[in-house]
A and B are shown apart, each in its own frame.
Chain A
Amino acid sequence: MTSPDDDIIAALRESPGNPPPTDLYGKVSAGVRRRRRRHRAVASAGMAACMAVAIAVVPMALRDRGPAQAPPSGLAAPSCAATLEPRPSAGPPPTGSGFVPGTPNSAVLCEYDQTAPSGRLMRRVDLDADELAKTLRIVRSLTPTNKLPSCPERPTLDLLTFGYLDGATVTLRIGCIVGQGDLVALLDPSLDAEIRNLLVGVPTVPPPSALTSRTPSPSPLPSISMPPGVTASGPMLLLDDQQRFAFIDPSFSTPRLLSLAAIPSGPSLIASNPAGGWVVTYTPDPVASPGAPIRLALIDASGKATPFGPTYQNAYVTGLAVSPDGTMLAVAFMDTTASILVTPMPGHSGSAATWRVGDAANEIISLSWAPDDKRLTYLAGLQTGAGIGGAPSTLDTSNPRWAPTTSTWPTNTGCDETAVSWLGTDGGFAVVEECASTGVAYRRADATTGASLSPTIALPRVGCGMPPMHPSGDGSNVLIPWCGTLYLISDGAATPIGQHVVDAAWGG
């Protein structure tokens, strides 16, 4: 006997037909590249600060006692003990207060079988960048009011250990993970998961890590040749296309390699420090790609590097600028939205503040301070992989509640602004534009209206992205790395002065 549902079920069993042809793998591959950038940003919100969670201190006997296992970077890594003792007392764990530093560079999940008398280690999972970001988000979501419900039906118990750059670890003892396939749910960003019965180990805040040393590559570093009649505006720091930082003093015949690792998924950024030297972004862990932590370093006029400031784990730093008086640093980074952090430079006092732009943009580039040390100009847009560009915006950093203002530059001109910069201290302003009809060009412009104040200077080739723009201290010379060639804009002409250069800036 048949029912009316049989026809419907038969219809449901029928194939919807053949899908249209598509390069699915190619799309997935391209999507993964885009997602990596986003994922590195997802967990960054609030991670620069430490997180308070409901905790109870785990006795040292419960902490990891296994042999150290070296991570790729050679730093001390979290490891799993072979056995785990049961929790010392039944019932809900006592709560206290403590911190999980938000800047780990590794994490490992150790799963134990609590049905065995010795709490035998069943499984070890080294978390990748996405998984680390997700577990941190879950931990961050726990509050002191968390009820910490237990999961008596679950025979296993997990230890989640975050590792930090200096080798410090923080261990969380997890009673159970609630979600589809529990362990899978914890690690897969697309699945919902909840941690219950959490205990956080003795908190340790990692100190700034030392710079890693790097073996010089045998290939020669780029050389710079200034055009006749033009004097170099001091020493230069450059990043070449092999991801090497090089220090070039015009009086030296050969550039010197710096033992700083550029960010593997790049680019590392260079900003002139008007007080002397540069500020750069680098990674202390170049092997961890994608998801390499990003740090700031101060490079003095002799080429010596000193790390400072926060570590951006799973974030993407897109802009860097030091104020003309050398006291404040602006850092643009990708988060769930784009943000600008303005913070005192090392050795200077002042308060830090962060501005987030709205949903209309997820990336900020071309940060540049106005000569008044207060206004910050930049380009912002929605990065979808095709690049961003458009009229510059200006932020008044003297007022923490001040919203950015978009300039009154004309739109629908057929050109996209891809880099902007203030020039020196006299109020000069310059822009690099990519125009549909005329290609890429540099010109001086009125910062407010965009009106041209000089003839345009064409740069060869198009489609090389959004170039950095680095003026000298007096604004007379501007360095623009473009399509692998370093151009010097001086005396109304663009002159190639070096090859295989990704970024370069004069020292302040």
Chain B
Amino acid sequence: MADDPDGFHAYVVARQGDLLRLARMLTTDWASAQDLVQISLERVWPRWNRVVRDGDPDAYVRRVLVNAHLKSGRRRWRGELPFAELPERAAGDAFEAADAFEAADVRHVVHELLPSLPPRQRAVLVLRFYADLTEAATAELLSCSVGTVKSQAAKGLRKLRDECERREVRL
């Protein structure tokens, strides 16, 4: 487009993978993640030059993305439900193979259960552990206190742990 802001195209090309992965962690599937990133970047577009001038476009885009995610969670329930059945287990006669499978199993269950958490709790877990933000940075991004981040993270982890235990996933 003729009015493409300077550097925006290059930014999108360079960062779209990371943004999509972050969005995927916040949503249920890649299609929803693409929608979320697209909506966020559309919102950033008109003020891109100002965002760049302010010096930290990643932080701004991340904030818009998380806000868009939280707003979409408020607008309508997205019909996310955790699966009730465990994936098929390996036979377990080879120790290393079983161990690797269990690690994958935890990952599978955690990623599967993330969408069932409340949007804000999910955002705290994703920002703290996937995006590796500090508690203070997460609190600032979510406009809440550090204490809230801590409590939300603890609650979220407990829910995931409880569900793993209920499914007999070894931790």
Stretch in contact with the other chain, from A5-13, A210-218, A416-424, A461-469? A5-13
- A27→B41 CA distance, assembly (Å): 10
Report yes or no: A32 in contact with B16, Cβ–Cβ below 8 A. Answer: no
Residues A158-212 near B (CB distance < 8 A) = 179-181, 184, 187-191
B89 within 8 A of A: no
Q: B20 contacts which chain A residues (CB < 8 A)?
A: 19, 24
Report which of B21, B50, B143 forms a contact with A15, defined as CB distance below 8 A.
Answer: B21
Report which of A5, A28, A187, A191 forms a contact with B42, defined as CB distance below 8 A.
Answer: A28
Q: B82 contacts which chain A residues (CB < 8 A)?
A: none
With both beta carbons as reference points, the residue of chain B lying nearest to A180 in the complex is identified as B143
Q: A4-B171, A188-B64 are in contact. Are A31 and B47 (CB under 8 A)?
A: no
Q: B17 contacts which chain A residues (CB < 8 A)?
A: 18-19
- A12→B41 CA distance, assembly (Å): 25
- A27→B60 CA distance, assembly (Å): 20
Binary flags per residue of B19-54, CB closer than 8 Å to A gives 1, else 0? 011001100001001100111111101110010000
Report which of B1, B45, B114, B157 forms a contact with A5, defined as CB distance below 8 A.
Answer: B157
Report yes or no: B38 in contact with A8, Cβ–Cβ below 8 A. Answer: no
Q: B4 contacts which chain A residues (CB < 8 A)?
A: 29
A-B residue pair count with CB separations less than 8 angstroms: 110
- A187→B64 CA distance, assembly (Å): 12
B: interface residue count bin? 35 or more
Report which of B12, B39, B130, B164 forms a contact with A13, defined as CB distance below 8 A.
Answer: B130
Report which of B24, B34, B50, B111 forms a contact with A24, defined as CB distance below 8 A.
Answer: B34
A16 within 8 A of B: yes
Q: A4-B171, A28-B45 are in contact. Are A12 and B129 (CB under 8 A)?
A: yes
Report yes or no: B38 in contact with A24, Cβ–Cβ below 8 A. Answer: yes
Report which of A8, A125, A184 forms a contact with B157, defined as CB distance below 8 A.
Answer: A8
Report yes or no: B21 in contact with A16, Cβ–Cβ below 8 A. Answer: yes
A434 within 8 A of B: no
Q: A15 contacts which chain B residues (CB < 8 A)?
A: 21
- A130→B43 CA distance, assembly (Å): 10
B9 within 8 A of A: yes
Report yes or no: A24 in contact with B21, Cβ–Cβ below 8 A. Answer: no
Report yes or no: A12 in contact with B24, Cβ–Cβ below 8 A. Answer: no
Q: What is the interface of chain B mostly: helix, strand, loop, or mixed?
A: helix
- Of A11, A13, A188, chain B has the most CB atoms within 10 Å of the CB of A11
Report yes or no: A188 in contact with B110, Cβ–Cβ below 8 A. Answer: no
B149 CB to closest chain A CB, in angstroms? 14
- A16→B28 CA distance, assembly (Å): 11
B167 within 8 A of A: no
Report which of A5, A19, A128 forms a contact with B47, defined as CB distance below 8 A.
Answer: A128
- A131→B114 CA distance, assembly (Å): 34
Residues A20-34 near B (CB distance < 8 A) = 20, 22, 24-25, 27-29, 31-33
- A31→B35 CA distance, assembly (Å): 11
Report yes or no: B42 in contact with A35, Cβ–Cβ below 8 A. Answer: yes
B58 CB to closest chain A CB, in angstroms? 15
Report which of B24, B63, B64, B171 forms a contact with A16, defined as CB distance below 8 A.
Answer: B24
Report yes or no: A11 in contact with B110, Cβ–Cβ below 8 A. Answer: yes
Q: What is the interface of chain A mostly: helix, strand, loop, or mixed?
A: helix
B107 within 8 A of A: yes
B160 within 8 A of A: yes
Binary flags per residue of A24-53, CB closer than 8 Å to B gives 1, else 0? 110111011101000000000000000000
Report yes or no: B21 in contact with A19, Cβ–Cβ below 8 A. Answer: yes
- A16→B22 CA distance, assembly (Å): 9
B150 within 8 A of A: no
A307 CB to closest chain B CB, in angstroms? 28
- A184→B132 CA distance, assembly (Å): 24
Q: B130 contacts which chain A residues (CB < 8 A)?
A: 12-13
Q: A20 contacts which chain B residues (CB < 8 A)?
A: 30
Report yes or no: A7 in contact with B47, Cβ–Cβ below 8 A. Answer: no
A359 within 8 A of B: no
Binary flags per residue of A365-394, CB closer than 8 Å to B gives 1, else 0? 000000000000000000000000000000
Report yes or no: B46 in contact with A130, Cβ–Cβ below 8 A. Answer: yes
Binary flags per residue of A116-133, CB closer than 8 Å to B gives 1, else 0? 000000000100101100
List B residues at the A interface (Cβ < 8 Å).
Answer: 1, 4, 9, 12-13, 16-17, 20-21, 24-25, 30, 33-34, 37-43, 45-47, 50, 60, 63-64, 67-68, 71, 103, 106-107, 109-111, 114, 125-126, 129-130, 132, 143, 157, 160-161, 164, 171
A-B contact pairs, 17 of them (CB 8 A): A4-B164, A5-B161, A7-B103, A8-B160, A11-B103, A13-B130, A17-B24, A24-B12, A25-B12, A32-B1, A35-B42, A128-B47, A131-B47, A184-B60, A187-B47, A188-B64, A191-B64
Q: A-B pairs with the 5 shortest C-beta distances?
A: A12-B129, A11-B110, A19-B20, A4-B171, A11-B107
